[in-house]
Amino acid sequence: MKYFKLPPAAEMKRAVYNKDKSYDGIFFVAVKSTNIFCRPACPARKPLEKNMVFYATAREALFAGYRACKKCRPMELTGTHPVWVKKLLDKIDLSAVKKIRDGELRAMGIAPEKARRYFMKNYGMTFHAYQRSRRLGNAFMNIREGSKIDDVIFENGYDSHSGFRDAFGKQFGKPPGKSAGTECIVTSLYQSKLGPMIIGAVSKGVCLVEFSDRRMLEYQMKTLRKRFKAAIIPGSNKYIEQVKIEIDKYFDGHLRIFKTPLVYPGTDFQIKVWENLKLIPYGKTVSYAELAEKTGIKGASRAVGTANGMNRIAILLPCHRVVNKDGRLGGYGGGLWRKQWLLDLEKNKLRGEAKSI
């Protein structure tokens, strides 16, 4: 998978030996002799070089049969970007106009290759592509809101009309000036307790909530672009901010019903399945067969399973509440460990409530 390329082995080994926290989220190190996997800077151990195996995601390490270290807890991300990424993002937010070049990255003590890899993995694009689309995204929003093109070009730091038109056309497929009122999908990376997520929204609500190490993500992005006939740009809007807060509360066990508006175009069948997902109560599970019956097509468990897997709004359209008939977990795009975690969270909360009554 091209998104999850690992740094060179020598660099990763160095990071492990130096307990370099800045590699957090870039790779995970598993130790053959102990069957445990860790964050690069785990304080607990210094594995022998010959025993180290590297993975790009916690999920891959888990599926390769390693257990998560109890000390550095690699399954629970810290909920933040590494310090160097935060600094970079702040810099971009302060001035979307000025391009940060490789030389400037180095001056900040950041290897350009490391930035490329982090942004590739977490945003699906290189750091420079992120900057470019962020800048274009700003311009696009300005035009949507009715600003004059001349002003937009000037304010977003483009040198010329033609340069701006070219860049704009490449990203959005239509010339600026015809774009007022056009939809775009803004996406934002969110470091949740359960790992990095990508959240997307359009002008009417949230349309994407996915764990960013999810294998389907690239396909989901493509479908979104097609369904909305809109480009995907990094950024945020009020729905994204709202749902981040809600997801946080949900993971902490303080929220059961989400209020953020959702937008989920699909085939009639998919939409029916997704609407029925919404009706499964917190802490309860149904089988694929039961969901098929509720959807009105008895016996179509397989088709329902597929539609369930195509769900783009994890957690809020709770596909994790659908399990196999025999009680086994079944599949989950975000990884079975996450499904188990979500089900445990909800069950424990319900149980806790029953106790206190």
Residues that bind Zn ion (CB under 5 A): 38, 42, 44, 69, 71-72
d(CA 280, CA 260) in angstroms, rounded, equals: 17
Strand-pair category, 232-234 with 185-192: parallel
Using the minimum distance from each CB to Zn ion, give the nearer residue, 71 or 222.
Answer: 71
**Is 184 one of the annotated active-site residues of the chain?**
no
CA–CA gap between residue 213 and residue 216 (Å, rounded): 9
Kindly provide the b/e burial profile for residues 318-337, where b requires at least 16 CB atoms within 10 angstroms of the residue's own CB: bbbbbbeeeeeebebbbbbb
> Which helix (H) or strand (E) is 16 found in, with range?
helix 9-17
Q: How far is the CB of 270 from Zn ion (least distance, A)?
A: 41
Retrieve residue 92's tokens: 């971009």
Shortest CB 309 distance to Zn ion, Å? 32
CB of 31 to Zn ion, least distance (A): 9
Of the residues 69, 184, 207, 319, only one is catalytic, namely 319
Q: Single out the residue of 168, 105, 170, 98 nearest to residue 139, CA to CA.
A: 168
Helical H segments across 64-111, by residue range: 83-94, 102-107
DSSP 3-state of 176: coil
Q: Which is nearer to Zn ion, 9 or 44 (CB)?
A: 44
- Among left, alpha and beta (phi > 0; psi -120 to 50; other), residue 264 is beta
Cα 215 to Cα 309, 314, 342, distances in angstroms: 11, 14, 19
Cβ atoms of 225 and 185 closer than 8 Å:
yes
Q: From CA 258, how far away is CA 304, in angstroms rounded?
A: 23
- Whether the CB-CB separation of 203 and 233 falls below 8 Å is answered with no
Q: Is-contact 54 66, C-beta < 8 A?
A: no
Q: How far is the CB of 222 from Zn ion (least distance, A)?
A: 36
Q: Which residues are catalytic?
A: 319
